Structure 1
Amino acid sequence: MREDLMRWQAQRHAELSGPDSWLGMQGLFWLEPGVNQVGSGEHCGVRLPSGPDHLGDLIRDGERVYWQPLGDSARELQTDRFGSPATVDHENLAFFIVDREGRLAARVRDRNWAARQPFAGLSYFPAAAEWAIEAEWQVLTTPLAMEVPNVTGELKTVLVSHKAVFSVAGQRIELLPMSVGEHEVFFVFRDRTSGKETYGAGRFLKVSPAVDGKIRLDFNHAYNPPCAFTPFATCPLPPPENWLPFAVPAGEMKPRA
């Protein structure tokens, strides 16, 4: 367990200290229908922290977005709706389009962010075998349409067909997944450490799919959502069903200042 946890922690550090880290985000700009100017000028709807006054235009046509640099032809940009988005690069800056339930935004990143303030690293609770829990993976008799808010106040409807059921100190707990995929199950939760030792809006947990009606919830791998590192993320918040009535002193702690 310890070697696997150390590898995961090293991957987390590499992800957050690299050029494409969430710490390098410089802005999130919701696109209006039609032309959205991109550049460092005050008139630009997508404001870059540096570079030319007007770099080009993002043209929104319904659910499609085109990038037209000044003096060049336009090309369509793939959003992140079905995977990795297409990226537009300019020197150390990059931007791409995110789709949030039909609302489209340009997210701007500075890949040279660490030159200003290097990553301070992450803190963790000591590894604890008791927080690697084998839970029952139970089918809901009636699937639940769960309204999940994000940090911007928007709601997303998530259809839940299973729940993880386990006990802590004799107390029966049910945890609802945010998504269930072929390779992983994703949970968002908060507990009595939230806002104290851990990030106030809760933490994320990704685990392997269930096998033979059992699912392993290793809270030592609980981690901070992107919104713990940048105001330009749109993280889901834990639904009330996933507010645990006890502390989970395992996994990632608050980001270092």
Structure 2
Amino acid sequence: MTVQDAPTDIDAFAAAWEAWHQRRDSALAHEHGFLAVTGLYWPDAEPQRFPGAPGTWSSGGDGVTVVLGEGEELVVDGTAVRGRHTFGVVPERGDLTAVWGDAVIEIARRGGHDVIRPRHPDHPLRTGFTGTPTYAPDPRWVVTGTYTPFPEPRPTSVGASVEGLRHVYDAPGRIRFRIEGRTLGLTAFNGQTPGSLMVLFTDATSGVTTYAANRALRIDAPGPDGTVVLDFNRATNLPCAYTDFATCPLPPGENRLPVAIEAGEQIPHERKRTAQ
């Protein structure tokens, strides 16, 4: 290897981003990932059948119940069930799955409503997936900000990709940062790991090169002085960017950035084809 061929910090940055991007696409393409969802159904007190799922389904005070017909079977927590089965109350934003042959049936709760989503590996959205388009990684979109916690977490109600649905999140604080010479702010929600954060946002690329409704950015836990790093190269689509069978939250109004964040994931090929 010559000196010119030696890896640089830019090479390492790009390689780390590429590995992250591949992990993202692999998770989407999983046999029971979001691209395998074939429908979004809302059970109520009246038992009803849903396409792509066995039995009749209803929802009540005890949670979701399925009544399986002759010859129908689900596997729940490794145990085969037949006839009537009640899944119990699923907490808000929680979910569980039951196996049906090579498919799974997701039982979830979103916006105060129970949800049924069959996931079939042979769904064309999944089998035709070729990867998510992105901007090329660029270190200039890695910015340092300051996180300021609120005195108490603020319950924050936001809309959803499903008309009429609302999500409520506890916002623990707000992030301030500078980009393109402007001081901007984002209300943060709790992340997936203790201390970490997540922001939902739109910007001037939304609906042009990036998905119109939302993108998400995960942020590591702030340092002792509140310092956070926002790597917009890792701004991601939510499932609603790919499928109408998602209930994704929309950003709070104050998270609509007035600049073009030309970084991260772009409008999926699947959504572009749907719009044609």
TM-score (norm 1): 0.85
Which residue of the other structure, out of 222, 233, 236, is the alignment partner of 2:246? 233
Deviation at 1:146, TM superposition (A): 2.5
CA RMSD of aligned residues (A): 2.4
Amino acid at match of 1:242: N
Query: Helix, strand or coil for the counterpart of 1:47?
Result: coil
Q: 1:178 and 1:142, CA in 2 relative to 1: closer, same or farther beyond 3 A?
A: closer
Alignment partners' CA distance in 2, 1:83 and 1:156: 9
Q: Can you list the C-alpha shifts for 1:94-153, whole angstroms capped at 9, x where unaligned?
A: 212110132111112211225984212111111111111111011235654422111123
Match of 2:186 among 167, 175, 193: 175
Aligned position for 2:84: 74
Identity of aligned residues (%): 27
Distance 1:127 1:136, change over 3 A: same
**Per-residue deviation at 1:68?**
2.7
**Residues 109/130 of structure 1: CA separation in 2 closer, same or farther (3 Å cut):** same
1:190/1:242 contact within 8 Å kept: yes
Secondary structure, aligned partner of 2:35? helix
Q: Residue deviations 1:61-84, cap 9 Å, x none?
A: 315122332243333326763786
Residues 159-182 of structure 1 deviation map (CA, whole Å, 9 limit, x = unaligned): 323111111122111111133450
Paired residue type of 1:121:
G
Runs of 5+ unmatched residues, structure 1: 39-45
Does the alignment pair 1:122 with 2:132?
A: yes
Counterpart contact for 2:62–2:86, Cα < 8 Å: no
Distance in 2 separating the partners of 1:80 and 1:12: 27
Q: How many angstroms apart in 1 are the aligned matches of 2:126 and 2:247?
A: 24
* Mapping of residues 57-68 of structure 1, within 5 Å: 57-68=56-67
Change (3 A) 1:124 1:208: same
Distance 1:64 1:116, change over 3 A: closer
Partner of 1:15: 27
- Aligned counterparts of 1:253 and 1:182: Cα–Cα separation in 2: 28
Q: Which runs of 5+ in 2 are unaligned?
A: 1-12, 71-81
The answer on 1:89 being equivalent to 2:112 is: no
TM-score of the superposed pair, with normalisation by structure 2? 0.80
Task: For 1:1-257, list aligned pairs within 5 A.
Answer: 1-33=13-45, 35-38=46-49, 46-48=50-52, 55-71=54-70, 72-77=82-87, 81=91, 85-114=95-124, 117-141=127-151, 143-152=153-162, 153-180=164-191, 181-182=193-194, 184-212=196-224, 213-256=226-269, 257=273
- Paired residues, number: 244
Letter in 2 for 1:26: T
Distance 1:123 1:115 in 2: 16
Kindly indicate which of the two structures has a greater share of residues assigned to strand: 1
Q: Which stretch has the larger CA shift, 207-216 or 16-25?
A: 16-25
